[in-house]
């Protein structure tokens, strides 16, 4: 069960601004989504494994890719050919 306090705390951690009047709506939605886990808990786990799965990783070989200039073209700020991002913490 999620309470309004929890939603406020999660929003703060995620740096998302939620208005006071939105809290009840978000709390209700969080709880509704958690109910889906209760439904999934009713599914019985089968005995069969996933024996047919195969690995699809490729060999680690260098192939042609974007130039540094093209990769940085959309960055707001660059430094020595790298993308410079603002501090987040």
Partner 1 sequence: MVKEYFFEETDRTNAFITRLDLAMYEETGGPLEGKGIAVKDNISTAGIPTTCASRILAGYVPPYDAHVVTCLREAGAAIVGKTNMDEFGMGGSTTENSAYGPTTNPHDASRVPGGSSGGSAAAVGAGMVDMALGSDTGGSIRCPAAFCGIVGLKPTYGRVSRYGLIAFSNSLEQIGPLGKTVADVNTLMSVIAGPDPRDTTAYDRPYTHTPSNDIAGMKIAVPRRILRRRCGPCCCRACAHCYRKTGRCRCRDADLFHSLHGLCPCCILCDLYE
**Is 14:34 a contact under the CB 8 Å cutoff?**
no
Of positions 14, 16, 62, 66, contacts partner 1 by CB under 8 A: 66
**Is 26:18 a contact under the CB 8 Å cutoff?**
yes
Q: Is the dihedral of CA 40, 41, 47, 51 positive or negative?
A: positive
73 binds partner 1 (CB under 8 A): yes
Taking CB under 8 A as the binding criterion, the range among 2-10, 13-21, 64-72, 77-85 that sits at the site for partner 1 is: 64-72
Residue ranges in contact with partner 1 by CB under 8 A: 29, 32-33, 36-37, 39-40, 43, 56-58, 66, 70-71, 73-74
């Amino acid at each position: 069960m999620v309470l309004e306090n929890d939603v406020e705390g999660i929003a703060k951690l995620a740096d998302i601004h939620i208005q006071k009047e939105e809290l009840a709506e978000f709390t209700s939605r969080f709880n509704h989504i958690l109910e889906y886990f209760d439904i999934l808990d009713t599914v019985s786990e089968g005995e069969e494994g996933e024996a047919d799965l195969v690995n699809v990783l490729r060999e680690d070989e260098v192939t042609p890719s974007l130039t540094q200039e093209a990769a940085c073209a959309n960055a707001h700020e660059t430094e020595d050919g790298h993308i410079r991002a603002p501090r987040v913490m």
